[in-house]
């Protein structure tokens, strides 16, 4: 069962932060078939349903060139998730593990990352497969998949360092 | 050449946001050999130098179980980057492309993502290879690499959806 807002047996919560260190802006919104957290996939699949990513202005011009990549990294903000658990029980069976050993949406900074298959771009709308988030999730960033991307900028010293 | 703060020929900037939509907390700090943006690698390499990731309290307990994964996803905040460019010229040669078609640190929400090789965890310190960021970069999140992680929570309806 997906967590709504409960704390389960064995889970450990810490105090909510009193202030933030940096700020995010929502650059768009993700549209998926899932309007209920109890139906969302645990992990997106590359043959999953078509989803749409809507970009807001002034960021639409920043899409130019992204159509060349078959897969893109999508970062989004899991705004329905609590942020205060250090140990979680995904199966709700009394066993727990640390939050960083899970890909649960519940984390101190609830940033979701997916690698999506890019089907097409038309205006400010991208069509993709492979997402797993709720309909309406705020978008934070889009990047070419790391394995498909070759830096355009000239290499620097660090690119050649392999020693310790 | 790495961008410092200049805007290059052909690049297009938009207005800086006047307010933020969500807040981040720094949960740790990344320690790398690179103290100058002019030396950072463009992309981390799995045989790159050892780097250390320091976790702050109260998040150290959330590491439990992460040691089982040979690769981890690391999210960090590129706090030295400008955020207002929609078109960029990585080679500084007059040609430009959209920000989302690049993995440049300059983006509306400058979140860096890397897949690092996990060497070990001792207390609040992780030793890894494969990072490419400046020494002192704020840490946002750690997760098991997606390709190594199997959800523990029971599947939901969306996990089986492949139709449109």
**Considering chain B, what percentage of its residues have pLDDT values greater than 90?**
73
Nearest in space to B132 (alpha carbons), one of B53, B45, B54: B45
pLDDT of residue B15: 94
From A88, which residue of chain B is nearest by alpha-carbon distance?
B62
B37-66 tens-digit pLDDT: 887 888 888 888 999 999 999 999 999 999
Nearest in space to B80 (alpha carbons), one of B114, B141, B30: B30
B79-120 tens-digit pLDDT: 999 999 999 999 999 999 999 999 999 999 999 999 999 999
> Which of B22, B98, B103 is the closest to A62 by Cβ?
B98
Q: pLDDT band for position B164 (50/70/90)? A: low
> Does A102 contact B144 at a Cβ distance shorter than 8 Å?
yes
Q: Tell me how far apart the alpha carbons of residues A82 and A110 are, in angstroms, rounded to a whole number.
A: 8
> Does A61 contact B87 at a Cβ distance shorter than 8 Å?
yes
Residues of A in contact with B23 (CB under 8 A): 17, 19-24
A19-29 tens-digit pLDDT: 999 999 999 99
Residue B4 lies in a domain: no
Q: Residue A138: pLDDT above 80?
A: yes
> Does B27 contact A157 at a Cβ distance shorter than 8 Å?
no
Find out whether the peptide bond into A51 is cis, omega within 30 degrees of 0: no
Residue A7 lies in a domain: no
ipTM given for this complex: 0.94
Structure tokens at A21: 């260190």
Residue B9 lies in a domain: no
Residue B33 lies in a domain: yes
Return the CATH number at B114: 2.40.30.70
pLDDT of residue A2: 59
pLDDT of residue B44: 83
Structure tokens at B158: 């969306």
Residue A162 lies in a domain: no
Residue B20 lies in a domain: no
**Dihedral pair phi/psi, residue A22, rounded to 5°:** -155, 160
pLDDT of residue B144: 98
Query: Can you count the helices (H) and strands (E) in chain B?
Result: 0, 10
CB B30 within 8 A of CB B143: no
Cβ partners under 8 Å of residue B32, min gap 6: B40, B49, B51, B131, B132, B133, B134, B135, B137
Query: Which residue is listed with tokens 């089986």?
Result: B160
Average pLDDT along chain B: 92
pLDDT of residue B39: 79
Nearest in space to A115 (alpha carbons), one of A79, A135, A142, A77: A142
Count structural domains, chain A: 1
CB A69 within 8 A of CB A118: yes
pLDDT of residue B2: 59
> What range does the domain containing A52 cover?
28-144
Question: CA angle at residue A103 from A29 to A81, to 5 degrees?
Answer: 50
Residues of B in contact with A14 (CB under 8 A): 58-59
């Amino acid at each position: 069962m997906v967590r709504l807002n409960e704390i389960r047996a064995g889970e450990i919560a810490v105090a909510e932060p009193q202030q933030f260190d940096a700020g995010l802006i929502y650059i768009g919104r993700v549209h998926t078939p899932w309007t209920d957290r109890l139906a969302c996939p645990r992990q997106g699949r590359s043959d999953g349903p078509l989803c749409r990513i809507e970009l807001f202005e002034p960021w639409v011009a920043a899409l130019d060139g992204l159509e060349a990549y078959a897969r893109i990294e999508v970062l989004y903000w899991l705004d329905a998730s609590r942020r205060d658990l250090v140990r979680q029980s995904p199966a709700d069976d009394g066993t727990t593990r640390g939050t960083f050993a899970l890909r649960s949406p519940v984390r101190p900074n609830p940033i979701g990352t997916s690698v999506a298959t890019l089907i097409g771009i038309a205006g400010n709308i991208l069509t993709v497969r492979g997402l797993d988030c709720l309909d309406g999730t705020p978008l934070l960033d889009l990047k070419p998949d790391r394995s498909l991307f070759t830096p355009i900028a000239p290499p620097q010293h660090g690119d050649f360092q392999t020693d310790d």
